[in-house]
A and B are shown apart, each in its own frame.
Chain A
């Protein structure tokens, strides 16, 4: 039930489609539940605690909602919403990057020529 996490009002200003909104929701959910996940991870890794406690923590961690996992997050293009071929430094997909670089919108980026 991912709907339970989604914001009532649109709160991002980049390119919008359903995948972008979904990814943004996942990021917010991950931020909220990160301390809880780390606490559980600590209990699981701590060999001085009783085995039963650790097993319970393992179970609890595995039963958390998938949106609370960091592996669900995927960087998407800010101008096209594409999920593949996105440059981390510019947050743009390869084609948007090329067009904007050629237009001169990205400071410090030049077409290579030698």
Chain B
């Protein structure tokens, strides 16, 4: 004796309830395929390595430690060197001085 169709459908409905799946006996296209897909964006966005600043981050993590910064030291040394050769930046003028100079030019 064949099982009636309604009974099989009941079984299917119960099965989908238990396993938390979609009950779709007519096989309609409901687009659930897309809801099941995982998001690829986070993985794709991590392709290039992030920019890191070791000395800055170390100093932030350990404020009590003395962490050297080669770039900064080199920059200060270069400025010192130029000053010694008389090629440093000129001193900032006061407001009165600059006014005088601009007037003379006219």
Contacts and interface: CB of A to CB of B under 8 A. Distances in A.
Contacts of B34: 38, 41-42, 45
Contacts of A75: 47
Chain B interface SS verdict (over half): loop
Interface residues of B, number: 20
Given A30-B44, A48-B30, A78-B48, 15 more contacts: A11-B50, A12-B51, A20-B48, A27-B44, A27-B45, A27-B48, A31-B41, A38-B34, A44-B31, A45-B30, A45-B33, A46-B31, A70-B40, A73-B44, A91-B47
Contact of B31 (A30, A31, A43): A43
A46 B42 contact: no
A34 interface: yes
B31 A32 contact: no
Chain A interface extent, by class? 20 to 34
A47 B32 CA distance: 11
B37 interface: yes
A24 B50 CA distance: 11
Nearest to B33: A45
Which of B28, B41, B42 has the most chain A CB within a 10 Å cutoff? Answer: B41
Q: Classify the interface of chain A: helix, strand, loop or mixed.
A: helix
Interface of B: 28-31, 33-35, 37, 39-42, 44-45, 47-52
Interface of A: 10-14, 20, 24, 27-28, 30-32, 34-35, 38, 41-48, 70, 73, 75, 78, 91
Contacts of A48: 28, 30
Contact of B50 (A13, A38, A70, A91): A13
Q: Which of B28, B34, B35 counts the most A-chain CB atoms under 10 A from its CB?
A: B34
Nearest to B42: A31
A86 B88 CA distance: 48
Between A11, A30, A31, A75, the greatest number of chain B beta carbons within 10 A of the residue's beta carbon is seen for A31
